[in-house]
Structure 1
């Protein structure tokens, strides 16, 4: 996929990959929210991870792709990125989803881009221009304005909302640290984003297996997966939200600065608006205004690279 974008002559490979990943996450978040009623966060995360590994392996086999000379440091960074970002961060995200609902969790995820940008500035010496910071700010403000609108929530806040907030914060930090580690491994190396996706998934799945086995919950939590219909839904969610989205995420991190890539990937809520219109739902002026502000921010993020 990343090779296609490059061969097509796109000069914004990373930015475009980030936006497509955001769209896929918008769709898969709705599916994951429903799956969370049937599967525990750990089992849901493990299931999508194992399926994604299978699809990535199949894709690499069909492409006849061989692993390039991956330096031990890059290998360690990608595995650690998977442990923190997928194994721990995604599990925290699914826990927060169960407590707060998709809209509030996506609002908390807006914290991840500035956290990632700051970490990248400190440890990777990534310096963003003033227009890039302004673009990030406008994008996140627009997204936050859309998400924070009061609407009926199909997943109301449960009895312990602060527990959901804590999970949401852990998810945001896990995601931010995970993408910075990936960026550190991808920058200046010839690692294919699909191979880095595979390594991240392996790190995450190993972590999840250890947690489930330590809690002796593997067999019990896997019981709902006896339903073929449920497995089918998990497969769809894994293809969209893990296999394709993570591949695009790694492409974005390889070709765009951390803060910019993460900001564009945080625009998932904006893609809900056209989906809602297509389904015949009403979209408020506030939502359209927030989307307009975010689009100005996205334009600035593209312009600063031109």
Structure 2
């Protein structure tokens, strides 16, 4: 009984950090699916479709829970809307575009800029002080992730041909947009009583609305960009992936930003490459000693972040 009590207390104390790691795990699985879907669906359409499906799941969940409209001040609402526009509308679209240009590995290297940038922005705008140990934990985690994703893999010459300035620009834009979106969301969550579920819906709604306007202005014939949805198989894959990566993933991200400092939450949310390795082994790929060593370094950084509480 004492063990169970201590265990539940530990989960309660670290619910922000655990939520961030859970989101990273879901995004790792989703990245494998999105890398294949990206060959058939352009980045903007893919981001739009998964956002609409996730909104449907969120609305259904809120109806089941009977949650009424939350009381939220206009400032917090504006911050969440901006967070959705930047982090989801712009950031995720830029991320998918970078994957198409650079491949998953190089895009993930650029994504490692998001956690330290988030921590710096939170320090400047939220006065969210991190200890020297916390910065060391963030640095170790990022180094471990970079070590994993920069490993040379066989037959990767085709991927290197897509290393263009356009892809690098998309990757940098994605990192900046996601870091800014995370800090805006963190600000709204700590300055209001809105639940992470409602904040997820607000952010997604804002992001999807911007994407929809963006697409309608660029291509007014709806039939053209709805063509991929004529395949029920593709619709099913998008729906299942959106449920786990967007609906659950962003909900968990909002929980992490609610209960953990922005820099730590963003760092732990960026550990998806570490979860990809066991999936790669399960799929029959060979994982090198260097990759395993990179995981151990990153896990050391995660352990440091957990030890600070």
Aligned partners of 1:18, 1:154: CA distance in 2, in Å?
A: 33
Does structure 1 residue 280 correspond to structure 2 residue 300? no
Which of the residues 41, 44, 48 maps onto 2:43?
41
Gaps of 5+ in 1: none
Partner of 2:4: none
Which of the residues 46, 51, 54 maps onto 1:52?
54
- Contact 1:179 1:258 survives alignment (8 Å): yes
Partner of 1:140: 142
Partner of 2:101: 99
Deviation at residue 106 of structure 1 after TM alignment? 1.2
Deviation at residue 301 of structure 1 after TM alignment? 0.4
CA 1:61–1:193 in 2, change beyond 3 Å: closer, same or farther? same
Q: CA RMSD in A?
A: 1.7
**Equivalent residue of 1:156, what SS?**
helix
- Contact 2:103 2:162 survives alignment (8 Å): no
Provide the TM-score with structure 1 as the length reference: 0.95
Deviation at residue 8 of structure 1 after TM alignment? 8.8
Aligned partners of 2:272, 2:80: CA distance in 1, in Å?
A: 24
Aligned partners of 1:42, 1:245: CA distance in 2, in Å?
A: 19
CA 1:155–1:258 in 2, change beyond 3 Å: closer, same or farther? farther
Does structure 1 residue 173 correspond to structure 2 residue 176? yes
Question: How many residues matched?
Answer: 301
Deviation at residue 155 of structure 1 after TM alignment? 6.8
Alignment of 1:117-128 (within 5 A): 117-128=119-130
- Contact 1:136 1:301 survives alignment (8 Å): yes
CA 1:277–1:95 in 2, change beyond 3 Å: closer, same or farther? same
With 29-38 and 16-25 compared, the bigger mean Cα shift is at 29-38
Which of the residues 244, 247, 254 maps onto 2:251?
247
1:118-165, Cα deviation, whole Å (9 max, x unpaired): 111111111101110000000000000000001134971445621111
Partner of 1:22: 24
Aligned partners of 1:188, 1:155: CA distance in 2, in Å?
A: 48
CA 1:231–1:157 in 2, change beyond 3 Å: closer, same or farther? farther
Aligned partners of 1:131, 1:34: CA distance in 2, in Å?
A: 39
Partner of 1:73: 75
Partner of 2:87: 85
Aligned partners of 1:276, 1:155: CA distance in 2, in Å?
A: 20
Does structure 1 residue 204 correspond to structure 2 residue 207? yes
Aligned partners of 1:63, 1:285: CA distance in 2, in Å?
A: 47
CA 1:199–1:6 in 2, change beyond 3 Å: closer, same or farther? farther
- Contact 2:102 2:163 survives alignment (8 Å): no
CA 1:6–1:177 in 2, change beyond 3 Å: closer, same or farther? farther
CA 1:171–1:75 in 2, change beyond 3 Å: closer, same or farther? same
Gaps of 5+ in 2: 1-6
1:107-128, Cα deviation, whole Å (9 max, x unpaired): 1111100111111111111110
Partner of 2:151: 149
Deviation at residue 279 of structure 1 after TM alignment? 2.3
